[in-house]
Structure 1
Amino acid sequence: MNYTTQMDAARKGITTKAMEIVAKKENIDVNKLRELISKGQVVIPANKNHKSISPEGVGKNLRTKINVNLGISRDCKNVDLELEKVRTAIDMKVESIMDLSNYGKTKEFRDKLIEMSPAMIGSVPMYDAVGFLDKDLKDITEEELLNVIKQHAMDGVDFITIHAGMTRSVCNKIKNHDRLTHIVSRGGSLLFAWMELNDKENPIYKNFDKILDICEEYDVTVSLGDACRPGCIQDSTDSVQIDELIVLGELTKRAWARNVQVMIEGPGHMSIDEIEANVILEKKLCHQAPFYVLGPLVTDIAPGYDHITSAIGGALASSKGVDFLCYVTPAEHLRLPNLDDMKEGIIATKIAAHAGDIAKNVYGAREWDNKMSKARVELDWDEMFKLCIDPKKAKKYRQESRPFNEDSCTMCGKMCSMRTVKKILNNEEVNLI
């Protein structure tokens, strides 16, 4: 039986190879997985032209996935350096990489990325439009923008972020609203400018059905971007954000009617006490579609440490039902992240995702922690290093400060609680002198 997308296959009762791989990774019954995909509650972003992909599922009952943003810009256009980041991100086993390149002819980098990456690949075609078309923003036509989206799909991009929910009506509200940071989404700001300069409706919203034609042909997952996401905690959960979210819910149904898979993108910056309510709103208004958030960052005052403010929000968001976390690095708001920034962002986001998975009782999450605790009780340092989320850093810290007694560390030495209790339980002598 033929099918066009993973959702189409699921609705026809077909178990695809991608479904089998994801079910095995997640230890979930493949029939249950197929049912969740048919309802739109799980997506498997896997473009037909991405031959190197190892498929991952995003959504209900699955592990929280993480995304890493990479790409070249006008000020930092070293392709080799970005490819080194790609290789490192793959080595660190991230599930997703977004190519946010926004300068020059980016296709060469995108082609190399898709060829080498087992992780799913996302992009924001709007970022690429100016360089790809070599035209000023105002002069880009709707048809040309569709051509850029088509090119990304043909190249093998697994999901595309499109800011289709920012209609003229929403834009008018932004202009008359007392938002502190207006529009902080790069793609959203570009579309806002295009709409104002040309006095026209959002071309992504207007041509949404044509975009679905492209996505259906290549099985590209639509990630409905939140152009109006809050850029500071003052703006979170305001009427502009919610108005756009309502539109995204309507677009979700239109995509599902065409068997196109959908994710919903969310905030942003947000006070910690609003996170749970935002997850509930997204799941309700967007019909339980998988939720993908940037952070959220729970305070605005920590440039240089925003991987931490993001991890705090990400852990809570994941625990309340968010399915996909976009990493934030220490360089957020300051510059393009370097290799070390990327590593720190990945680790912080992995910690947040795992913390959420424990709360959601995702299969295997608690077992990982229990194995670590057992190794600590037994003072089995080699096993601890194998289990920890960043073995290199753990080993480095251990080597930098060696204890007199190898079964302890330099914090407590012979007064190590694990060591003391272990000796007592084994009827051994406890000598602290």
Structure 2
Amino acid sequence: MTYTTQLDAAKKKIITKEMKCVAEKEHMAPELLCEKIAAGRVVIPANIMHTSLSPEGVGEGLRTKINVNLGISKDCYNIDAEMKKVQVAVDMKAEAIMDLSNYGKTRAFREAVVNTAPCMIGSVPMYDCVGMLDKELKDITEDEFLKVIEQHAKDGVDFITVHVGLTRALAEKVKDSRRITHIVSRGGSLLFAWMLANNKENPLTSQFDQILDICEKYDVTLSLGDACRPGSIHDATDTLQIQELINLAALSQRAYAHNVQVMIEGPGHVAIDDIEANMLLEKRLCNHAPFYVLGPIVTDIAPGYDHITSAIGASIAASKGADFICYVTPAEHLRLPDLEDMKEGIIAAKIAAHVGDIAKGIPGAIERDHAMSRARFDLDWNTMFELAIDSEKPKAYRANSQPIEEDSCTMCGKMCSMRTVKKVLHGDDVNLM
């Protein structure tokens, strides 16, 4: 029996090699994974052109995955630096990389990323339109937008973000809204400008069926972008955001009927007490489709530390059902992240994902914490380093400040509680002098 996409195969109860690989990684029966894909609750982004891919699943009952954004820009056009970031992201075991390049001829870079990285690769074709077509935004035609999308699919990206929920009617409401930050989505702002300049409907929305044809042909997963995501906690969970989510829910069902896998993108900047409601809304409105969140960032006043404000929000989001976390770096809102910013963002996102997995009861998640606790009680430093999300920093801290007693650290020395209790339990003398 033949199939066109992972979703088509799952509907036909065909277990693909990608499903077998993901099931093994997730310690899940392939048959159960296949059922979840068939129900639209799990996706395996796996473009048929991405031959170096080691597939990952995103969705219900699976480990929370993280995505790393990178790419070339006009002000920081350095392909070598971005390729180094790609390798570091792969080495740090990020499950996905999104190429957000937005300047010049980006295809060579995109192809290099696809050929280099075994993780899922995503892109936002909207960012590439001006450079690829050598045309001003307002002069691009509907068919030309499709041309760029198909090129990205041919180049092997596993998922693409398309801001199809921002309709012309919703764009008019944005103009009159009481939002502080209006539209902070880059792709959404470009489409907003195009619609108003051309007095037409969103070209991605009006040509959604043609986009589905392209995605089915290459098995590209759609990540339905939230053009109206809040860029400030003031704007969170307002009528613009919810109306767009309702639009995306309807479009996700059209994609499902077309055998195209779908994720839904979510906020954004959200006050901490609103996060659970946002997760619930997406799951109920969008038939439990995988939810891909940027943060959420829980306060607007910590520039330079938004990897922390994001990790706080992402931990709660993941614990309440978010399936995929887009990392945020300390450079958010300030500049293109450098390599160290990227590393900090990845670690923060991995911590948040793991916190969420503990709450969701993902097999093996809490066991790792228990193993760390045992290693701490045993004062087994090497095992602690092996179990740590980031082993480099704790190793460096330990090496930088050596204690007199090996079974302690320079914080407590011989007064280490673990050392004292172990000696008592083993019947040894507790000598602190």
TM-score normalised by length of structure 2: 1.00
**Matching residue of 1:251:** 251
**Matching residue of 1:219:** 219
Correspondence list, 1:21-420, <5 A: 21-420=21-420
Secondary structure, counterpart of 1:340 in structure 2:
helix
Secondary structure, counterpart of 2:122 in structure 1:
strand
**CA-to-partner distance for each residue in 1:353-405, whole Å, 9 max, x for gaps?**
00000000001000111111110010001111111111111110001111110
**CA-to-partner distance for each residue in 1:264-296, whole Å, 9 max, x for gaps?**
000000000000000000001111000000000
Alignment gaps of 5+ in structure 2: none
CA apart distance, 1:175: 0.9
**Residue identity opposite 1:219 in structure 2:** D
CA apart distance, 1:308: 0.2
Name the CA distance, whole Å, in 1 between partners of 2:388 and 2:177.
47
Name the CA distance, whole Å, in 2 between partners of 1:429 and 1:140.
80
CA apart distance, 1:298: 0.0
**CA-to-partner distance for each residue in 1:225-269, whole Å, 9 max, x for gaps?**
000000000000000000000000000100000110000000000
**CA-to-partner distance for each residue in 1:299-349, whole Å, 9 max, x for gaps?**
000110000000000000000000000000000000000000000000000
Name the CA distance, whole Å, in 2 between partners of 1:412 and 1:169.
63
CA apart distance, 1:202: 0.2
Name the CA distance, whole Å, in 1 between partners of 2:426 and 2:217.
65
Secondary structure, counterpart of 2:325 in structure 1:
strand
Secondary structure, counterpart of 1:328 in structure 2:
coil
Name the CA distance, whole Å, in 1 between partners of 2:297 and 2:278.
13
CA apart distance, 1:176: 1.2
Name the CA distance, whole Å, in 2 between partners of 1:276 and 1:172.
29
Name the CA distance, whole Å, in 2 between partners of 1:154 and 1:130.
19
Aligned residue pairs total 433
**Residue identity opposite 1:45 in structure 2:** P
Name the CA distance, whole Å, in 2 between partners of 1:92 and 1:384.
18
**CA-to-partner distance for each residue in 1:149-190, whole Å, 9 max, x for gaps?**
000000000000000000011111111111110000000000
**Residue identity opposite 1:185 in structure 2:** S
**CA-to-partner distance for each residue in 1:50-102, whole Å, 9 max, x for gaps?**
00000000000000000000100000110000000000000000000000000
**CA-to-partner distance for each residue in 1:132-152, whole Å, 9 max, x for gaps?**
101000000010110000000
CA apart distance, 1:41: 0.1
Name the CA distance, whole Å, in 1 between partners of 2:8 and 2:250.
19
Secondary structure, counterpart of 2:114 in structure 1:
helix
Correspondence list, 1:422-433, <5 A: 422-433=422-433
Name the CA distance, whole Å, in 1 between partners of 2:91 and 2:338.
16
**Matching residue of 1:20:** 20
Secondary structure, counterpart of 1:98 in structure 2:
strand
**CA-to-partner distance for each residue in 1:206-243, whole Å, 9 max, x for gaps?**
00000000000000000000000000000000000000
CA apart distance, 1:426: 0.8
**Residue identity opposite 1:430 in structure 2:** V
**Residue identity opposite 2:318 in structure 1:** S
**Residue identity opposite 1:49 in structure 2:** M
Secondary structure, counterpart of 1:68 in structure 2:
strand
Name the CA distance, whole Å, in 2 between partners of 1:253 and 1:383.
47
**Residue identity opposite 2:220 in structure 1:** V
Name the CA distance, whole Å, in 2 between partners of 1:392 and 1:165.
42
Name the CA distance, whole Å, in 2 between partners of 1:3 and 1:289.
21
Name the CA distance, whole Å, in 1 between partners of 2:38 and 2:92.
31
Secondary structure, counterpart of 2:213 in structure 1:
helix
Q: Percent identity?
A: 68
Secondary structure, counterpart of 2:68 in structure 1:
strand
Name the CA distance, whole Å, in 1 between partners of 2:38 and 2:388.
36
Name the CA distance, whole Å, in 1 between partners of 2:145 and 2:173.
25
CA apart distance, 1:350: 0.2
**Residue identity opposite 2:268 in structure 1:** G
Name the CA distance, whole Å, in 2 between partners of 1:52 and 1:73.
26
Secondary structure, counterpart of 2:67 in structure 1:
strand
Secondary structure, counterpart of 1:103 in structure 2:
coil
Query: Hey, which bits of structure 1, 4+ residues long, moved more than 6 A?
Result: none
Secondary structure, counterpart of 2:269 in structure 1:
coil
Secondary structure, counterpart of 2:86 in structure 1:
helix
